[in-house]
Amino acid sequence: MLKIVLIDDDPISTFVTEKLISKNIKVPCRIFKFQNASDALKDMASIHPNYLFLDLNMPEMTGWDFLEEFEPNDYSPEVYILSSSVDERDINKANNYSLVKSYLSKPLIKKYIKTIFN
C-alpha cells in the first residue's frame, strides 16, 4: 500500500489534493494529512511515506524548515513541493534539495498525478 503525506495549512488545498489523488491512482493508498510541518516531522519515522507533498508557506514551521530537518534514514520518499508561489528563487532553492523530485504549482492537476504515479 502506498503511503502519501500531505503537509499544508490550507484545508481546502489539502481536500482538493486528496480527492484528486484518490480518484486518479489505481493502487491502494493511505493518505496522511498534516496542517503543520512540525507535527508531520514528528510522525515521519513511523509513517515511512512513499510520497510527500509539501507546502512552503506555513506558520510556525515553513516547508523550507521542514526540508532542513527532515532526514529519512531507512527510506527515501519522493518529495514534491506543492506551492502557490511561482517565484523563480523558490523553484531554484527547491532544486537544491536532493529529496525534492519536483516543484509543482497549486492547485495540483490531473496531469501531475499521472506523471508522478505512473
What was the pLDDT predicted at 38?
96
Identify any residues that bridge with 51 across adjacent strands, giving them in sequence order.
4, 78
Distance between CA atoms of 3 and 104, rounded to whole angstroms? 19
Q: What is the pLDDT of residues 22-64, one digit of tens each?
A: 999 989 999 999 999 999 999 999 999 999 999 999 999 999 9
Question: What are the distances in angstroms from CA 8 to CA 11, 26, 69, 106?
Answer: 7, 24, 17, 11
Q: Are 3 and 32 in contact (CB under 8 A)?
A: yes
Mean pLDDT of 62-90: 93
Has residue 118 got a pLDDT over 90? Answer: no
At 28 the pLDDT is: 94
Residue whose cell numbers read 532553492: 93
pTM over 0.85: yes
Q: Residue 112: what pLDDT?
A: 87
**CATH number of the domain encompassing residue 11:** 3.40.50.2300
- Give the count of domains, the chain: 1
**Can you give the residue range of the structural domain that contains 24?**
2-117
Q: Which residue would you say has higher pLDDT here, 86 or 90?
A: 90
Share of residues in the chain with pLDDT > 70 (%): 100
How far out from the chain centre does Cα 25 lie? 16
Q: Assign 13 a pLDDT band (cuts: 50, 70, 90).
A: very high
